[in-house]
Structure 1
Amino acid sequence: MQHYKLLITLPVVLGLAACANSGANYQPVVDGPVGPNYNADLAQCQQLAASQGALDSNAGGKAAAGAGVAAATTAVFNNEGNNVRDAAAVGALAGLTASAIDQNSKKEAIVRNCMSKRGYNVVG
């Protein structure tokens, strides 16, 4: 049974690690000409976004909510052996994944806003 838990947990953890700075590497679509400082400006804006953590400040709450909902649902519908504990762990991972996805969206927004403030016509 331990191998099954590892097979479920490992891809989620690796996925979170891979996504840690994917939002910070965002390259916005710019309408119009770009100047000679574009690459330097983009690098600085991406660095600003990367300085934010991999998880947002609500990560603990999302993990707890995911764990609680999954555990409660399992307790009601399939309460056998360690199912409730396992469901709580999977729910917590789901909450952390949701937090990481939200944080990546925020990092993309940081890059877009930063480039807009530097005078680029960011359209996407």
Structure 2
Amino acid sequence: MKPIMIAPLCLTALLGACAEMGTDVDPILDGPPTMQFQSDLSACRNLARSQSQLNHETMAAAAMGAGIGGILGEVDDEGDALGGAVAGALAGTAMGLSEASDTRETIVLNCLRGRGHAVVN
């Protein structure tokens, strides 16, 4: 398989694997959950899922990773610019997805706090 075809396939697999990341947080409560907790948790998770993981920050991280990887691949004696760019783009995308996952988790926790639940974490 050509290297140019591997990058989109890896990116698609990475995005698919991360689709629910950040929304599946199990919050720790200070005290027993109220009767409304499960309903609020579901609503807050849905709110977090509505936040795209492939946002500007993720795309910028992928572009920066591709640029840095391409440069490093070009200056390496045994490397090539395309391979470095592909590896850099995948690393940048993974970093951006991780940050988006953290944002989604924060949305769930803050949403629950806003609905009156004593969320510790």
- State TM-score, norm by structure 1: 0.84
Q: By how many angstroms is 1:40 displaced? A: 0.3
The amino acid that maps onto 2:57 is N
Q: Is the 8 A contact 2:73 2:82 kept in 1?
A: no
Q: Is the 8 A contact 1:68 1:91 kept in 2?
A: yes
Alignment of 1:117 onto 2:114: yes
| Structure 2 Cα separation of the partners of residues 86 and 7 of structure 1 | 10
Q: Is the 8 A contact 2:73 2:83 kept in 1?
A: no
Root-mean-square deviation (CA, aligned residues, Å) is 2.2
Aligned residues: 121
Q: By how many angstroms is 1:76 displaced? A: 1.1
Q: Is the 8 A contact 2:7 2:86 kept in 1?
A: no
| Structure 1 Cα separation of the partners of residues 21 and 66 of structure 2 | 26
Q: Is the 8 A contact 1:24 1:50 kept in 2?
A: yes
Structure 2 unmatched ranges of 5 or more = none
1:57 alignment partner in structure 2: 56
**Which residues of 2 match residues 1-124 of structure 1 at below 5 A?**
2=1, 10=9, 13-78=12-77, 83-124=80-121
Structure 1 range deviating more: 6-15 or 114-123? 6-15
Q: Is the 8 A contact 2:73 2:81 kept in 1?
A: yes
Structure 1 unmatched ranges of 5 or more = none
Q: Is the 8 A contact 2:62 2:88 kept in 1?
A: yes
Q: Is the 8 A contact 2:58 2:92 kept in 1?
A: yes
